[in-house]
Amino acid sequence: MVAQGWGKAVSPPVMNSMITMGEVPGGGPAQMDLGELLATRLLVQGNSGSGKSHLLRRLLEQSARMVQQAIIDPEGDFVSLAEKFGHLVIDGADHSEMALHAAGERMRMHRASVVLNLEGLDADQQMRWAAAFLGGMFEVPRQHWYPVLVVVDEAQLFAPAAAGEVSDEARRASLGAMTNLMCRGRKRGLAGIIATQRLAKLAKNVAAEASNFLMGRTFLDIDMARAADLLGMERRQAEAFRDLARGTFVALGPALSRRPLSVRIGSVETESRSAGPVLAPFEPPTAPVHELILAPVPVHDLPARQRKAPAPSAPDLLTQLAAHGEAQASVQAEQEQEEDTAETQAEREARMTAVLRDMMEDEESSFRPVPVLYQDFLVRCRIAGLGRNALDLRRFNRALATARSGVSEDTSSSTQWQEAESRASSLPEDLQAVFLFLARAAIERTPCPSDAQIAKVYGTVSTGRARRLLAWLEDQNLLVLRADGMGRRVLTFIGTGWETLPGMADS
Ligand SMILES: Nc1ncnc2c1ncn2[C@@H]1O[C@H](COP(=O)(O)OP(=O)(O)O)[C@@H](O)[C@H]1O
Ligand SMILES: [Mg+2]
């Protein structure tokens, strides 16, 4: 396609990053520039049966030896790539959301191509699992930012234009992950390739980030209109999409062709091409990767808030603003600190704890992101005459976890509580409050909290999440859950003998 489409004035494409997708009408090869594709992403659209999955398979087969691949596969279409090309197939149904986040990170660290098979999961789960996996890929440290083709088939499932049956939480997470992939993935080496049967059902901002298009047979006017808009064609011209044969697509974009070009997609199972000097040859790992990628997640490896949608940028801005304000006010702060010396550290801490408790009484506070709470806390501390730099963010997090646990002053001064805090400190920050909340119930011998209460401390309304959290804490051998004769839960902390009274999970 490129060979056909680019004019003479443009420097010749580097042939070694080319793959052949099929044939152009005259009979020549329809090529796609993989190097360019990595930078400019691809959107494939066509009605069901138009040949999108076949097209994706062709692309994946042709490039499997040149670049690492990740496939989000809602229908289990692509698991067969494993046999010929060694992709690791991850069956979503067999793994937790957390394990998938870790798998997303690790597949990049170990440079293994992966098919994430989401067949058989309900829509809500498909979204959250995909979001966790994509989130892991996105958040991997910079030294692992090698190029990866990230193929998402039936992308309207993961980035729907409108709210559907699924929970808001799942939709937000999934849409966030897809937006990150298409809008901010490039810098991290992620090249989004998305296919959809209904352009009108795909979130606009996700579709708009692709610069390459392969448009297949399209029936509905609304989809045709969207396609014409994206391609910058007259709507009349787009009428041609109605008559396209299965397996024929109109190609346009820097990796494909400068002008709309019709392409007949070739067969699958062809041998892959050798890699060239532009794209570094991709060498799949020789050792089995299953253990490397899917081993249980050690506590300290878990990124904080991994299953939440990425924090909005506003709080970051707030933190930056606060830092700026602090610098400017350093002189004043020093004066304040001098005045402070009369007050003992213990007195200060008691007053800060009181400020935090006050904040926690505000119902809304459990659902506000930590950076926002931190700003609120700093302001309240200033008002209380505690100075500008009452606590740094890290110490604030600790104090917040303690405050969220709702522990009484009596309990908080006990040696048992010190033990609980020391155990909590080895957990990811976002889990510390829940852990302390449960520990408090056990130490104070109150009934085991309900799922809804646990969810609230975790900052969510999802009771499913609360149950997964409990299951995870059990997995880590931190506590054991058992049912009493009346179906109530009892929670015992391993190695301490702390135990709650029985409590209903759904009260
Ligand atoms: N270019 C092609 N050459 C041969 N067979 C094709 C081609 N494109 C699609 N097919 C076949 O047509 C059927 C539907 O294609 P598929 O890729 O599953 O469509 P979609 O994913 O758009 O619903 C499949 O059986 C597929 O093998
Ligand atoms: Mg398909």
**202-224 tens-digit pLDDT:** 999 999 999 999 999 998 888 89
Evaluate: CB of 246 within 6 angstroms of ligand 1.
Answer: yes
Evaluate: CB of 198 within 6 angstroms of ligand 1.
Answer: no
Q: Select 2-267+286-297's CATH number: 2.60.120.380, 3.40.50.970, 2.40.40.20, 3.40.50.300.
A: 3.40.50.300
Predicted pLDDT of residue 286: 75
Of ligand 1's listed atoms, the one at least distance from the Cα of 58 is 1
Q: Which of 389, 278, 301, 196 is nearest to 14 (CA)?
A: 278
Question: Residues with beta carbon < 5 A to ion ligand 2?
Answer: 53
| 413-507 has the same fold as 2-267+286-297 | no
Residue to probe by mutation, ligand 1, list 54, 71, 194, most atoms within 8 Å of CB: 54
**What is the Cα 417 distance to its own chain's centre?**
34
Predicted pLDDT of residue 314: 41
Q: What is the Cα–Cα distance from 122 to 111, expressed in whole angstroms?
A: 29
Mean of all residue pLDDT scores within the chain: 83
Evaluate: CB of 54 within 6 angstroms of ligand 1.
Answer: yes
Q: Provide the percentage of residues in the chain whose pLDDT is more than 70.
A: 85
Whose atoms come closest to the Cα of 263: which ligand?
1
103: which residues sit within 8 A by CB, 6+ positions away?
90, 95, 114, 133, 136, 293, 294
Evaluate: CB of 49 within 6 angstroms of ligand 1.
Answer: yes
Tell which wins on pLDDT, 388 or 279: 388
Beta strand 248-253 with 88-91 is unpaired
Evaluate: CB of 46 within 6 angstroms of ligand 1.
Answer: yes
Helix/strand/coil for 101: helix
| Contact of 78 with 67, CB cutoff 8 Å | no
Q: Mind listing the pLDDT tens digit for each residue in 101-145?
A: 999 999 999 999 999 999 989 999 999 999 999 999 999 999 999
Predicted pLDDT of residue 327: 47
Q: Count CB-CB contacts under 10 A for residue 360.
A: 16
**What is the whole-number distance in angstroms between the Cα of residue 196 and the centre of ligand 1?**
14
Of ligand 1's listed atoms, the one at least distance from the Cα of 57 is 17
- Report which protein residue has its CA nearest ligand 1's atom 12: 51
Of ligand 1's listed atoms, the one at least distance from the Cα of 52 is 22
**Domain definitions of the chain by residue range:** 2-267+286-297, 413-507
Report whether pLDDT(61) > 90. Answer: yes
Q: Count CB-CB contacts under 10 A for residue 462.
A: 19
Class of domain 413-507: mainly alpha
